[in-house]
Amino acid sequence: MTSLRERMQEDLKLKNYSAKTATAYLDGVRHFAHFHWRSPADMGEREIRDFLLDLSLRQQSASVLKMHVAALKFLYNTTLRRPEEVAWLPWPKVPRRLPVILSTEEVNALLSAVEPLLHKAVIMTAYGIGLRICEACALQVKDIDGKRGLIHVRDGKRARDRYVMLPVRLRDFLREYFRQVRPAGPYLFAGQKPSRPIQPHTIRAALNKGLRKAGIKKRVTFHMLRHAFATHLLEAGTDIRVIQTLLGHGSIRTTARYTHVSSRHVASVQSPLDALEPREVRKPK
């Protein structure tokens, strides 16, 4: 399995998969090999089917099952060059649940509760411009263009760069942050070593602490700040294609789900019942 793992690692690098995705795929193939105690090179459709059925019977989540399917498809399509072994393999149906959305009042309370200044700066930046946690942590000082009012987001999902706006409140806050912290390295939000960015797990811990301090009972993850950013923009009347560009979505369908969670948009829709002409209600005899 060692040489096969190395080949798969090389293929993942050649296709420029992210480190996170590569690790997940390699772990998925390792689980498959350990399940049968054989090299995947010596197995095929029957063993793949038995492995995935076992995952389903053990009631693994749809997202976990999908990750293993993706890993096996990559292994047999690309590394082993035996696509016939996975040609039959369907993608599991993953339920699409609506995200929990923080109100503007809750976001304001959260930002007031988060400390120290460094952690607050990361979380405010992420909400203010709709960043993923890895994008927020990786921002560099040179990415902030105060004169043009822009922030350069580098190496987003699928290695896409994009520009987003620099809100006035965030600009002023970052100036104060920079005055007090004085980042010594290239990263705007440095970790313990100035040459390395702050780690996502540190920010997640700060977020959870801030949520408790603010008294917010909702089950909130860092990514929900991004959901809140998109929903609040939509409710303020921002065009959905502008929101798509700001979020770095490849498809408008991904952005369109925020129309389902915007309470203001849903509440403003007129039911066809209200368009009917009123009729006199007859009293029962």
Is 58 considered catalytic here? no
Active site residue 157: yes
Query: Is there a cis peptide before residue 99, judged by omega within 30 degrees of 0?
Result: no
If you search the block for the tokens 């005055």, which residue do you land on?
Answer: 179
227 is known as an active-site residue: no
Cα distances from 61 to residues 55, 93, 113, 127, 189, in angstroms, run: 9, 11, 34, 29, 34
Q: Which position among 212, 223, 241, 264 bears the catalytic label?
A: 223
Q: Is 148 a catalytic residue?
A: no
* 124's tokens: 């405010």
Q: Please report, in angstroms and rounded to a whole number, the separation of the first and last CA atoms in the chain.
A: 84
Question: Catalytic one among 68, 119, 226, 232?
Answer: 226
258 is catalytic: yes
Which amino acid, 10? E
Sign for the CA dihedral angle at 36, 40, 41, 43 comes to positive
What one-letter code names the amino acid at 174? L
223 given a catalytic annotation = yes
Q: Give dist(CA 84, CA 81) in Å, integer.
A: 9
Match 């798969």 to its residue by tokens. 8
User: One of 142, 157, 193, 260 is an active-site residue; which one?
Assistant: 157
Count of all residues that appear for the chain in the document: 285
Closest CA to 165 of 188, 180, 148, 181: 148
Of 82, 249, 257, 265, the active-site residue reads 249
Contact 123, 209 (CB under 8 A): no
Q: Hunting for tokens 């409140």 — which residue is that?
A: 169
The dihedrals phi and psi of 159, each to the nearest 5 degrees, come to: 60, 35
Known catalytic residues? 132, 157, 223, 226, 249, 258
